[in-house]
Amino acid sequence: MRKSVLILNTGGTISMRATERGFAPDPDFLGRLKNIVADPDFAPGLDVQFAEMTPLLDSSNMEPGDWRRIADEITRLGEKADGVLLLHGTDTLAFTASALSFLLEPSRLPVIITGSQIPMSEADSDGLSNVQGALAALAEDRSRDVFVWFGGRLMKGNRTTKVHSFGLAAFDAPRMRGRDAKPGELRAALPNVEEGRAMAQVGLLKLYPGISGAVVDALVDSGLQGLVMECYGAGNGPDLNTGFMAALKRAVDAGVVVVAVSQCHFGSVDLYRYATGRALADIGIISGSDMTVEAAVTKLQVLLSLTSDIPAVAEAMTQDLRGEVTIT
């Protein structure tokens, strides 16, 4: 029996062409792609349908509200499909992949996200090979989860990060140890789900020598509800920087959920390994273990959009809800 696949285009490099102002959306892209995919040797065993988001976006312009809009379109248009191939720009592709893993219920169908580093309108584009590879992966008996296909590799979506600005092997999943997503776990982790809440405002802060507490205060004053902090190594911070530590404590006391992840590509956070990490734990910073930055940011945004119960969100951030974190 032939499988049905929906290709949903959101924009990005893959669907662009050269203009006087640089690469911009190509209005003829979808028609050209349809003609290519119509070749019976291109996607054997698949019936492929096509749709586009409006407006098409360079992924640099993607915002949290767009993740929810894409999730709604996948749910609506994918009702009669066995899988969805999402075309997306590369700059924030890993954020969207992570966000969708939390926004979509994984009991329905597999979603694979791909794009390209070079527009398909260019002779040396990697776009066509990425589309064909992703379709071939969807033709297999694929687990119902969100994946990224890029440069000949299939990676779990919420374990993926962009590692190259120009190279064709643009994505990697250096911490890819997560299990398959299981339905129901995300909402079950929250005792008080509140429907209709807007996507939360979450900040991202990378530690650097000499960081000031004023940076944290400014973020908190902007109204954010969550903060992901890229710490040194295994989750260490400048515990002798009293101004910075006091600002973090003020943020936690104000109800901001602060999650520590590592600046390193490999490994994980252990706040109890060093005294400098323990100092963070003592003021209420939560360990993000081996979550990617993208997974931590989007998970925190989705959870905070489901409930105002801060202790419940803090607890859920330490749980494996979609295979995004390794619990030891």
pLDDT for the residue 178: 59
Least confident of 21-25, 49-53, 150-154, 222-226: 21-25
Active site residue 13: yes
pTM of the full structure: 0.95
User: What average pLDDT score do residues 307-318 get?
Assistant: 96
The alpha-carbon radius of gyration of the chain (Å, integer) is 20
pLDDT for the residue 144: 86
Q: What is the DSSP letter of 274?
A: S
Catalytic residue among 13, 92, 96, 160: 13
* 3-class DSSP assignment, residue 232: strand
CA 236 – CA 180 distance, rounded (Å): 30
Domains, the chain, ranges and CATH? Answer: 3-173 (3.40.50.1170), 186-316 (3.40.50.40)
pLDDT for the residue 1: 72
Other residues' Cβ atoms within 10 Å of the Cβ of residue 277: 24
CA 84 – CA 55 distance, rounded (Å): 19
User: Is residue 52's pLDDT more than 80?
Assistant: yes
User: What average pLDDT score do residues 77-90 get?
Assistant: 94
Least confident of 11-15, 63-67, 158-162, 185-189: 185-189
CA 272 – CA 292 distance, rounded (Å): 19
**Per-residue pLDDT tens for 138-185?**
999 778 899 999 999 999 999 999 999 999 999 999 877 656 777 778
